[in-house]
């Protein structure tokens, strides 16, 4: 019969902390399974084999250690029942594998590895940040998926809102990531469904509506006519913003990968990176003026980029590299745009994304929604209606005025 116990190892790590381990003795031969948590000796209660209250998140860590001990005991009983003789090495291997089966970190890695493998840097980067925040909240304790319940998630939300000063929408995005990781675990362990903390009567994920604001006509004119001749970088970033606006709020990720071969005569032919939908647009005169500032003289490679911001990309077939360097480029562009906004004394943060909002705001209800759907390349007209509703306030304004002017 094997014996099992949680104890604090005497040998310390480089920080002078002692590892917490599970010791299993079988036929007088001991073996140790390290839990992955190291603490100060003063924070350990040797008599009761538990972490003292002096350790941050002691309750959570003690619950985790108890869960590990219970799972290990159950695995030992299972092994000794099924086999008349079982070595301590076999026990260690089986218990160790069992202890990591439902690890949050294990499935979080699976989750992020998928984005990296599929070249989705724009998904990987924010999701890694959300997972990091959850681990910081847990003080480095790698919880089992079974331990992620409503109470824990509500405390996490309070932590994000209070200590991290994040918005309600950002909190919901954290929950979406945790739910996706939990769902990965349920695929391997269907019995986890009993503990599922999301859904009716539990944690409900509702994304608050975000405010979408574009430039007013006078602000747009101010931007178009501003004298930026003293700063070539400002001129370039304004060109990118205006080019995006003139092409119905073309996404910056699509603007930056345009090549000269995409322009034929007076038309632009391109495929949206977000949903791979093809689009052809007649180039407005103002967009042509901008293009001519970048058109090389003499003979040139039609396959070369129009704008130079992604010139350091070595392989455009590597989607991860393209998304990563696009993200860096957009950050730099937005920084210059905000400097332009301050120079012009705009009361809005000028960013590339506002170009899309500005087009939608000025379009209002003047352009048929079916045509806007085509310009935006939305898969569903419902998406277009929902998006455009952010910029049409006429009915509400008239209703308010009707009441106040009685």
Domains assigned to the chain: 3-99 (no CATH), 104-195 (1.10.150), 217-363 (1.10.443)
Name the nearest CA neighbour of 103 among 160, 33, 181.
Answer: 181
How many angstroms separate the Cα of 295 from the Cα of each of 144, 215, 230, 305? 58, 29, 22, 10
Tokens of 132: 């990091």
Q: Helix and strand tally (H, E) in the chain?
A: 15, 8
Asked if pLDDT for residue 395 goes beyond 60, the answer is no
**How far, in Å, CA of 239 to CA of 322, rounded?**
21
Query: Who's near 368: CB < 8 A, 6+ residues apart?
Result: none
pLDDT digits over 68-91, tens only? Answer: 788 777 777 766 665 555 666 666
Give the angle subtended at the CA of 236 by the CAs of 339 and 232, to the nearest 5°.
75
pLDDT category of residue 400 using cuts at 50, 70 and 90: very low
Three-class DSSP category at 322: helix
Phi, psi of 93 (to 5 degrees): -65, -45
> Residue 378: CA atoms inside 13 Å, Cβ hemisphere, count?
17
DSSP class of residue 7 equals: E
Tokens of 47: 């008599």
pLDDT digits over 221-250, tens only? Answer: 999 999 999 999 999 999 999 999 998 888
Phi, psi of 44 (to 5 degrees): -110, 130
Its pTM stands at 0.64
pLDDT digits over 248-266, tens only? Answer: 888 899 999 999 999 988 8
Say if CB 153 and CB 178 are below 8 A apart: yes
């Amino acid at each position: 019969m094997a014996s099992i116990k949680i104890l604090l190892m005497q040998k310390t790590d480089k920080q002078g902390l002692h590892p917490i381990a599970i010791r299993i003795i079988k036929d007088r031969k001991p073996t140790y399974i390290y839990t992955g948590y190291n603490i100060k000796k003063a924070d350990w209660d040797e008599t009761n084999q538990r972490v003292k209250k002096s350790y941050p998140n002691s309750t959570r860590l003690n619950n985790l250690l108890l869960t590990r001990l219970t799972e290990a005991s159950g695995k030992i009983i299972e092994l000794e029942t099924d086999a008349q003789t079982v070595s301590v090495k076999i026990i260690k291997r089986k218990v160790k594998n069992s202890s990591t089966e439902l690890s949050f970190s294990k499935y979080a890695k699976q989750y992020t590895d998928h984005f990296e493998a599929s070249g989705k840097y724009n998904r990987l980067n924010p999701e890694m940040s959300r997972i990091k925040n959850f681990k910081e909240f847990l003080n480095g304790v790698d919880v089992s998926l079974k331990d992620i319940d409503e109470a824990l998630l509500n405390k996490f939300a309070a932590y994000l809102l209070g200590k991290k000063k994040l918005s309600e929408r950002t909190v919901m995005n954290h929950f979406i990531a945790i739910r996706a990781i939990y769902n990965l675990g349920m695929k391997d362990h269907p019995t986890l469904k009993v503990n599922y903390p999301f859904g009716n009567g539990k944690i409900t994920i509702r994304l608050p509506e975000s405010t979408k604001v574009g430039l007013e006509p006078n602000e747009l004119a101010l931007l178009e006519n501003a004298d930026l001749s003293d700063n070539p970088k400002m001129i370039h970033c304004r060109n990118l913003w205006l080019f995006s606006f003139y092409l119905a709020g073309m996404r910056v990720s699509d603007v930056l990968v345009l090549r000269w071969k995409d322009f034929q005569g007076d038309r632009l032919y391109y495929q949206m990176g977000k949903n791979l939908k093809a689009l052809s647009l007649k180039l407005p005169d103002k967009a042509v003026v901008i293009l001519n500032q970048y058109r090389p003289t003499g003979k040139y490679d039609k396959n070369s980029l129009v704008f130079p911001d992604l010139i350091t990309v070595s392989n455009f077939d590597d989607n991860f590299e393209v998304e990563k360097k696009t993200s860096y480029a957009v950050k730099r562009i937005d920084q210059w745009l905000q400097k332009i906004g301050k120079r012009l004394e705009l009361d809005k943060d000028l960013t590339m994304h506002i170009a899309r909002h500005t087009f939608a705001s000025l379009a209002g209800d003047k352009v048929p929604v079916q045509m806007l759907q085509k310009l935006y390349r939305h898969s569903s007209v419902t998406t277009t209606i929902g998006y455009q509703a952010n910029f049409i306030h006429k009915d509400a304004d008239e209703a308010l005025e009707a009441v106040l002017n009685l």
